[in-house]
Amino acid sequence: MNALHVLPAHIALPDAGKALLIEPLDYNNPYDYHKPHRHDYFEIILIKSGTGSQVIDCKSYTLGAGQFYAVYPGQVHLMNRGNAKGLLIQFRKDIFRHIAPLHHYHLYFKEQAFNLDGAVFNHLYDLTLHMAALMDGTENTAFVNQRLYSYLQVILLSLPQVHSAQRQLGRQDLVLNFLSLLPQHISQRKKVTDFCAILGCTADKLNDACKAGLGKTALKLIHEELMLEICRLMLLGTLSLKEIAYELNFDCPANFNNFIKAHSGYTPGGLQATLLEIYK
């Protein structure tokens, strides 16, 4: 089995004193971006020109002009910038209190790569440049900050997936809030009733909403998130397979092995070896 570098569990926003940062794609990262890593903040990536590649969790993408990506807190991420040029918007979850009615869970899309119409992309890119100019200015007032939040709100509301999600999910906030809670609590909570206690709803109501909006039961979504977190921890390499089982509160190694086999068809070691091939 290939050995992975030991990495911190999460990388924090580079400037802890700011809730929002704008950087060029080729900025000097304060961490080793050549290795798989995970952030504790949202990262929006706008590709203006050039090519490159990246992996988000277990899915590979080829970078191209006019693309827009959303990377969520906790996802395993690796980017080969190549000759790609563009901008990054980085922000913590607490910024959503300034851009209502959007909530952080509205950004949890099934697809994370958006190939936008040229005019739409250029509009969003120009707004991002305006944000960067405001942040580089000497004036730092509540009025300036509100302009920044307004620009960010327009950018996020312009994503087609925001509107399609609103049309497709009849009980949108319940389902999307549930989806956003999964990565936060999956190591401790694995029952539908555990999440219903947080959401303040019945299991039947949550199941009905998930089946209506996503065609899956709440338990199926929990199991998918658990498998995803197992894969993320395998990729990061900070824990052995035995430690991953312990970290995710499996009763015993046999249950851990059986869960992985049932949901992937692989043994834990076989799954990790397969995942590492994606990040080579």
For residue 12, what is the DSSP state?
P
Confidence band of 161 (pLDDT split at 50, 70, 90)? low
As for how many domains the chain has, the answer is: 2
**41/147 same-domain check:** yes
Q: Give the pTM.
A: 0.75
Asked, for residue 13, whether it belongs to a domain, the answer is: no
Is the pLDDT assigned to residue 40 strictly greater than 60?
Answer: yes
Q: Kindly state the average pLDDT of the residues 45-52.
A: 96
**95/69 same-domain check:** yes
Among candidate residues 164, 193, 225, the one where a domain is terminated: 164
- 83-136 confidence digits (pLDDT tens): 999 999 999 888 988 888 787 877 777 778 888 889 989 999 999 999 999 888
Q: Which of 10-19, 101-110, 177-186, 236-245 has the lowest mean pLDDT?
A: 10-19
Helices (H) and strands (E) in the chain, counts: 10, 9
Q: Kindly state the average pLDDT of the residues 30-58.
A: 86
**256/134 same-domain check:** no
pLDDT of the residue at 206: 95
Q: Kindly state the average pLDDT of the residues 244-251.
A: 93
Among candidate residues 115, 142, 164, the one where a domain is terminated: 164
pLDDT of the residue at 221: 93
| Structure token pair of residue 79 | 């980017």
Q: Taking all residues of the chain, what is their mean pLDDT, rounded to a whole number?
A: 84
Asked, for residue 7, whether it belongs to a domain, the answer is: no
**51/182 same-domain check:** no
- 134-160 confidence digits (pLDDT tens): 888 766 677 888 889 999 999 988 875
**150/238 same-domain check:** no
**214/142 same-domain check:** no
Buried b (16+ CB within 10 A) or exposed e, 172-207: bebbbbbbbbbbeebeebbebeebbeebebeeeebb
pLDDT of the residue at 167: 45
**67/147 same-domain check:** yes
- 189-201 confidence digits (pLDDT tens): 999 999 999 999 9
Is the pLDDT assigned to residue 2 strictly greater than 50?
Answer: no
pLDDT of the residue at 33: 66
Give yes or no for a contact between 221 and 210, defined as CB atoms under 8 angstroms apart: yes
Asked, for residue 246, whether it belongs to a domain, the answer is: yes
**153/269 same-domain check:** no
Domain extent at residue 154: 20-164
Is the pLDDT assigned to residue 163 strictly greater than 80?
Answer: no
